[in-house]
Amino acid sequence: MLEKILSLDTELFVFLNGLGSETYDGLWLFITKQSNWIPLFLLLAYVLYKKLGAKQTLYMLLFIAVLVTITDQTANLFKNGFQRLRPCNNPEISSFIRVVQFRNSFSFFSGHAANSMAVATFLFFNFKHKIKYFGFLFLWPLIFAYSRIYLGLHYPSDILTGYLVGFIFGFSMFKIYKAAQLKYFPRSDN
């Protein structure tokens, strides 16, 4: 059963990765680089500040920092535990897939997918009733994580597992944040 799932995962990866072309490689390399998302992060920080004020924004950013640290380290534990080769390193497929970027680390599961989904989930549940169309924030993890398939770095199951882990961690941190917020900011608009 596991062999069949991994085979389907590889087939889907080969299909999705094969949709790319050299014309768009630069765009996807730009998208996958975390520092290129700084304008989005600054915009989100500004929105937080406008909605919450300075003190609560710093408090929320602390929770986001802890969330990203936990999610990222969990992804690293899984990668080193499972030691699944990235597609770009898999000798069975590396000769016929598009390898746009190369990494020596392991594949399962995607830290990019997990971290971006965790933060998007955490922010979404905090602001879904306060900011119209805030659900569009989920475009960020979708685009960000797809870049990993496009570049030849992750299988679809790496991405989907990262999304699941990120959602669970993001929602859990939202619940912890809400409980802490009630304790330390009892008069705030929760």
Mean pLDDT on 79-102: 90
Query: Does residue 95 register a pLDDT over 60?
Result: yes
What pLDDT does 177 receive? Answer: 95
The rounded distance, in Å, linking the Cα atoms of 33 and 80 is 22
Confidence grade of residue 182 (pLDDT, cut at 50, 70, 90): confident
**Residue 136 gets which letter from DSSP?**
G
Mean pLDDT on 4-31: 92
Query: Residue 163 CA to chain centroid, in angstroms?
Result: 7
Instruction: Please tell me whether residue 175 adopts helix, strand or coil conformation.
Output: helix
Domains and their CATH numbers in the chain:
2-184 (1.10.606.20)
pLDDT digits (tens, 9 = 90+) for 120-160: 999 999 999 988 888 999 999 999 989 999 999 999 999 99
**Residue 97 gets which letter from DSSP?**
S
What pLDDT does 148 receive? Answer: 93
Query: Does residue 188 register a pLDDT over 60?
Result: no
pLDDT digits (tens, 9 = 90+) for 24-61: 999 999 999 989 999 999 999 998 899 889 999 999 99
Instruction: Choose among 127, 90, 121, 114: nearest CA to 13.
Output: 90
| Backbone φ/ψ region at 113: left (φ over 0), alpha (ψ -120 to 50), beta | alpha
What pLDDT does 34 receive? Answer: 87
- Percentage of the chain modeled with pLDDT above 90: 67
Q: What angle do CA 135, 139, 144 make, to 5 degrees?
A: 145
What pLDDT does 76 receive? Answer: 95
What's the per-residue H, E or C state across 156-181? Answer: HHHHHHHHHHHHHHHHHHHHHHHHHH
Identity of residue 99:
V
